[in-house]
Chain A
């Protein structure tokens, strides 16, 4: 039985209240295979040509395909992404004209909470501050500038199209949509491309020293998945430079008094009253104090959740808690299973290794990836003769070879490792060998090209990549999924907005390199500052909830209670034990490739682990002090719930698309097989209350995806 309910008027049928199809169930058959056809007796699904007044292509009919019957619930009506009608190329301009404004004198009467100070959060808070709103900005870091955007290396894409390499906004959108394997919202990608132009100008103006040509103009380079040169960069530290610039702009607003920046505070819950986001409950990580803050709107720019895998390329403290707590309060979670695995991460070499540091993809330009042909070959790499090596990427994908896209390379590596041909002490990696390149180009050239990376590798592993091959392995990296939001970046909770990696929308099922810095910057500086005032305009004259309002007090009490509960379990194991185990379950069950059996097994093990967590966790100390074990425990408790939703989403989606590879859905030669008839939609999951420590069956909502400028096509890299 579906537990679908209306969260607000904004979520309404795509097809309008007067469409006769609305009240009818979607193809409602328990057998997913049968849903591919048009079951006899079922009226035509609400598809093509029903409403002649709309000139958009209607989505494919079977947007209700179900793959996890029994495990989840399914809502009847599709979600409305609130996308402007008509030509997507001009949609953003038209939407901006529709937005209501707030006069400069009234802006100070509004308070907005922005959670997170990465590129999206710092940008949004600073921009709203510049406009004259009162902003309260939260970060769990000791300084705004430390947010994880700082670690991005490669660059930031922009559709400035200055060169004569035939780039354009349309081409940017095409690359992004196609790279995302047609599971992104096309209209959002147009906005991303359009605003990408100003992003470069702005970041340059606030002090990011972009690489320049000798003539003084901005320099660009190429990145995977595109054939033009549109990536702007600052050496290998683009994220750092953008983050430093953005956080300084934030500090400027702090000095001007528009932004109240509250560091070392972690958001632990969202205050929702009457279906609307009213504020947040935070814990001061230094004192342990639980505090509440209320406002007219709340923005979550809290980053991705790749850390759920324990070992990932993410920072130690990156977590899903704020987004997950919002999800539990009614915000839908879109495509949680879409996680990008980066093929050139460092392998796990020891139990205590805490992350899989990223090595730049550029290494694959000159390095050759191989494994021994014989499984379990114990010989050192250099003693394995040429004819006993399998350069599997070159063999399987002769035209792209070692430069095959991230998802394909990661999958191929996993196959070799699973077949027992992995290398290294734990047999969990593949070789990335520079022997031939050094032989051909000389050590000096390789040193010039990759010197700093080789140094970093040596630093991390103690092995010299000039004399023995590097070892690499796929590592959990970027979350394409996130809180569902409409075109205006508002989630399914009124007044709750989302930006950056915490959201979804642009990257579909696979993100292109250098698009993540871009999406964070665009959301923060050039989208949210337009769409938030449109929401605020309807609330002029209202005051934020007072702190003694029951909704505030109840939420605070729940946070205190949960904190106390974590502290009082009195078990034997620290939080990291559970996190490590969860990571192992996810890497094997919901990793680079997924199967029905593997996902079901993972689901069972996650439930079991969650049970153990709540009975055997040990958190020393109290809640009234700085307590890092308590911080970790809270985050891992949320990951233990999140992980289940990831697996359910992956189980439900019986197609392969981008980074989501279901072994059941592949072509004869082992390539991902997308199913546009059945699955051309985004799944947005609604939380339902469960029993005891376990969440209830989530309910899937569907937003049909509509591709107008970029026709659906198969990605082909062979």
Chain B
């Protein structure tokens, strides 16, 4: 199949970006989006041009590295599917695709389709962990965790940290990401002793780094890990709870 692809090209963070139109004449329905870019880059390198920079790694939807906005939708046409699992069979011969980076004030462009998502890691570093040193943990079988509780924790910890929720949000909020982080550790007993402390850290960094949430729900439309929308309420709930706990950590 023949495709026309409009791609955002930007040399570096400071440079002005622009769309450049390319054609791929031998695209095939079984190709994934990163494979389409591999094909296009091969054309570019053969022609002596600089290839399109894009983030990609596991190519099976679990590492969260890839993230391209396709025709204004983070990750692409198929809902709740990461870029690397979007295939060209969703398109027809002669179609036109527009590829650009995840768009958010919190994600500065590094080059072409790559953005800096380290703000998400700063949220984690501000408290999104359990403070237990290696070797000091109690026997995991002495801590009984009901089946449903473990499953609920897993529903939230499934987040792959790709940042599509931020890119989809008109406000650039990371509440789905931050809320999944809080909900995961709040669901499990392991996370309880520092629940309030964690909430203070995570919520304040979330507010510093990202926009406010207006509960549009655009985030859950694109989330490749299927994080439930209830995650976003955890941000305000945990913040309020932490405020009531005053100086207590738990």
* Contact present for B139 and A576 (CB under 8 Å): no
Q: Name the distance in Å between B209's Cβ and chain A's nearest Cβ.
A: 14
* Contact present for B134 and A143 (CB under 8 Å): no
Question: Which of the residues B35, B89, B120, B188 comes within 8 Å of A462, measured between beta carbons?
Answer: B89
B42-84, CB under 8 A of A: which get 1 and which 0? 1011101111010111111011110000000000000001000
Question: Which of the residues A162, A286, A576 comes within 8 Å of B42, measured between beta carbons?
Answer: A576
User: Given the complex, which residues of A lie within 8 Å of B85, measured CB to CB?
Assistant: 459-460
* Contact present for A263 and B42 (CB under 8 Å): no
Q: Name the distance in Å between B3's Cβ and chain A's nearest Cβ.
A: 13
Q: Tell me whether A198 is interfacial, beta carbon within 8 Å.
A: yes
CA distance A326 to B36 in the complex (A): 35
CA distance A628 to B54 in the complex (A): 9
The segment from A79-87, A145-153, A474-482, A554-562 that touches chain B is A145-153
* Contact present for B190 and A355 (CB under 8 Å): no
* Contact present for B190 and A148 (CB under 8 Å): no
B123-166, CB under 8 A of A: which get 1 and which 0? 01110111111111111110111110111011001101100000
A628-652, CB under 8 A of B: which get 1 and which 0? 1100000000000000000000000
* Contact present for A316 and B59 (CB under 8 Å): yes
Q: Interface size bucket, B side?
A: 35 or more
Given A218-B140, A248-B124, verify A143-B118 contact (CB < 8 Å): yes
* Contact present for B129 and A316 (CB under 8 Å): no
CA distance A214 to B146 in the complex (A): 6
Q: Tell me whether A225 is interfacial, beta carbon within 8 Å.
A: no
Q: Tell me whether B171 is interfacial, beta carbon within 8 Å.
A: no
Q: Name the distance in Å between B72's Cβ and chain A's nearest Cβ.
A: 22
User: Given the complex, which residues of B lie within 8 Å of A208, measured CB to CB?
Assistant: 157
Give chain B interface residues in 169-219, CB to chain A under 8 Å: 184-185, 187-188, 190-191
CA distance A340 to B217 in the complex (A): 44
CA distance A648 to B101 in the complex (A): 44
Given A204-B143, A207-B188, verify A141-B130 contact (CB < 8 Å): no
User: Given the complex, which residues of A lie within 8 Å of B191, measured CB to CB?
Assistant: 207
Given A212-B145, A217-B144, verify A628-B38 contact (CB < 8 Å): no
Q: Name the distance in Å between A250's Cβ and chain B's nearest Cβ.
A: 9
* Contact present for A349 and B30 (CB under 8 Å): yes
Q: Name the distance in Å between B236's Cβ and chain A's nearest Cβ.
A: 22
Give chain A interface residues in 540-575, CB to chain B under 8 Å: 572-574
Give chain A interface residues in 181-233, CB to chain B under 8 Å: 198, 200-202, 204-218
* Contact present for B50 and A620 (CB under 8 Å): yes
Q: Tell me whether B9 is interfacial, beta carbon within 8 Å.
A: no
* Contact present for A626 and B53 (CB under 8 Å): yes
Q: Tell me whether B110 is interfacial, beta carbon within 8 Å.
A: yes
Q: Tell me whether B167 is interfacial, beta carbon within 8 Å.
A: no
User: Given the complex, which residues of B lie within 8 Å of A526, measured CB to CB?
Assistant: 134-135
* Contact present for A574 and B41 (CB under 8 Å): yes
CA distance A461 to B135 in the complex (A): 44
* Contact present for A206 and B42 (CB under 8 Å): no
Q: Tell me whether A534 is interfacial, beta carbon within 8 Å.
A: no
User: Given the complex, which residues of A lie within 8 Å of B42, measured CB to CB?
Assistant: 574, 576-577
A446-482, CB under 8 A of B: which get 1 and which 0? 0000000000000111100000000000000000000
* Contact present for A200 and B125 (CB under 8 Å): no
How many chain A residues touch B (CB < 8 A): the figure is 81
Chain A residue at minimum C-beta to C-beta distance from B44 = A620
Question: Which of the residues B12, B87, B137, B157 comes within 8 Å of A244, measured between beta carbons?
Answer: B157
CA distance A254 to B41 in the complex (A): 37
Q: Name the distance in Å between B73's Cβ and chain A's nearest Cβ.
A: 17
* Contact present for A215 and B137 (CB under 8 Å): no
CA distance A202 to B116 in the complex (A): 31
Chain B residue at minimum C-beta to C-beta distance from A625 = B12
Give chain A interface residues in 51-94, CB to chain B under 8 Å: none
Question: Which of the residues A352, A357, A461 comes within 8 Å of B28, measured between beta carbons?
Answer: A352
Q: Name the distance in Å between B62's Cβ and chain A's nearest Cβ.
A: 5
* Contact present for B38 and A263 (CB under 8 Å): no
Given A526-B134, A574-B41, verify A255-B126 contact (CB < 8 Å): yes
Q: Tell me whether A113 is interfacial, beta carbon within 8 Å.
A: no
Q: Name the distance in Å between B175's Cβ and chain A's nearest Cβ.
A: 19
Give chain B interface residues in 79-117, CB to chain A under 8 Å: 81, 85, 87, 89, 110-111, 114, 116-117
Q: Tell me whether A126 is interfacial, beta carbon within 8 Å.
A: yes
Given A216-B146, A459-B87, verify A210-B140 contact (CB < 8 Å): yes
CA distance A162 to B146 in the complex (A): 18
CA distance A407 to B131 in the complex (A): 41
Chain B residue at minimum C-beta to C-beta distance from A146 = B63
CA distance A218 to B139 in the complex (A): 11
User: Given the complex, which residues of A lie within 8 Å of B44, measured CB to CB?
Assistant: 620
Chain B residue at minimum C-beta to C-beta distance from A144 = B121
A295-326, CB under 8 A of B: which get 1 and which 0? 00000000000000000000111000000000
Given A202-B135, A206-B132, verify A150-B62 contact (CB < 8 Å): yes
Q: Tell me whether B29 is interfacial, beta carbon within 8 Å.
A: yes
A112-128, CB under 8 A of B: which get 1 and which 0? 00000000000100110
* Contact present for A352 and B147 (CB under 8 Å): no
* Contact present for B38 and A352 (CB under 8 Å): yes
CA distance A480 to B89 in the complex (A): 37
* Contact present for B131 and A462 (CB under 8 Å): no
The segment from A40-48, A235-243, A489-497 that touches chain B is A235-243
User: Given the complex, which residues of B lie within 8 Å of A574, measured CB to CB?
Assistant: 41-42, 45-46, 51
CA distance A202 to B134 in the complex (A): 6
* Contact present for B120 and A207 (CB under 8 Å): no
CA distance A346 to B46 in the complex (A): 29
User: Given the complex, which residues of A lie within 8 Å of B153, measured CB to CB?
Assistant: 209
Q: Name the distance in Å between A381's Cβ and chain B's nearest Cβ.
A: 18
Question: Which of the residues B12, B48, B57 comes within 8 Å of A317, measured between beta carbons?
Answer: B57
Q: Tell me whether A621 is interfacial, beta carbon within 8 Å.
A: yes
Q: Tell me whether B237 is interfacial, beta carbon within 8 Å.
A: no
Chain B residue at minimum C-beta to C-beta distance from A234 = B154
Q: Tell me whether A671 is interfacial, beta carbon within 8 Å.
A: no
* Contact present for B144 and A216 (CB under 8 Å): yes
Question: Which of the residues A212, A218, A354 comes within 8 Å of B34, measured between beta carbons?
Answer: A354
CA distance A526 to B89 in the complex (A): 47
CA distance A141 to B150 in the complex (A): 29
User: Given the complex, which residues of B lie within 8 Å of A216, measured CB to CB?
Assistant: 144-147
* Contact present for A237 and B57 (CB under 8 Å): no
CA distance A245 to B134 in the complex (A): 12
CA distance A245 to B135 in the complex (A): 15
Q: Tell me whether B229 is interfacial, beta carbon within 8 Å.
A: no
Question: Which of the residues A210, A252, A576 comes within 8 Å of B131, measured between beta carbons?
Answer: A252
Question: Which of the residues A130, A234, A241, A629 comes within 8 Å of B133, measured between beta carbons?
Answer: A130
Given A200-B140, A248-B128, A354-B38, verify A315-B51 contact (CB < 8 Å): no
* Contact present for B118 and A142 (CB under 8 Å): yes
CA distance A612 to B141 in the complex (A): 58
* Contact present for B121 and A315 (CB under 8 Å): no
Chain A residue at minimum C-beta to C-beta distance from B39 = A352
Question: Which of the residues A150, A160, A209, A217 comes within 8 Å of B58, measured between beta carbons?
Answer: A150
* Contact present for B46 and A572 (CB under 8 Å): yes
B contacts, CB < 8 Å to A? 11-12, 28-32, 34-36, 38-39, 41-42, 44-46, 48-51, 53, 55-60, 62-65, 81, 85, 87, 89, 110-111, 114, 116-118, 120-121, 124-126, 128-141, 143-147, 149-151, 153-154, 157-158, 160-161, 184-185, 187-188, 190-191
23 CB-based A-B contacts, threshold 8 Å: A141-B57, A142-B55, A205-B138, A207-B185, A207-B188, A209-B187, A217-B141, A218-B141, A235-B154, A237-B62, A251-B125, A254-B125, A255-B126, A316-B56, A316-B58, A459-B81, A460-B85, A573-B46, A574-B42, A574-B45, A618-B45, A620-B49, A625-B11
If A209-B151, A215-B144, A462-B89 are given as contacts, then 18 extra A-B residue pairs at C-beta distance below 8 Å, sorted by A number, are A142-B116, A143-B121, A145-B64, A145-B161, A202-B137, A205-B138, A210-B140, A212-B149, A249-B132, A251-B129, A252-B125, A252-B129, A315-B58, A315-B63, A352-B28, A525-B134, A574-B46, A576-B38
Q: Which 6 residue pairs spanning A and B have beta carbons closest together? A: A216-B144, A205-B137, A209-B153, A204-B140, A574-B45, A248-B129
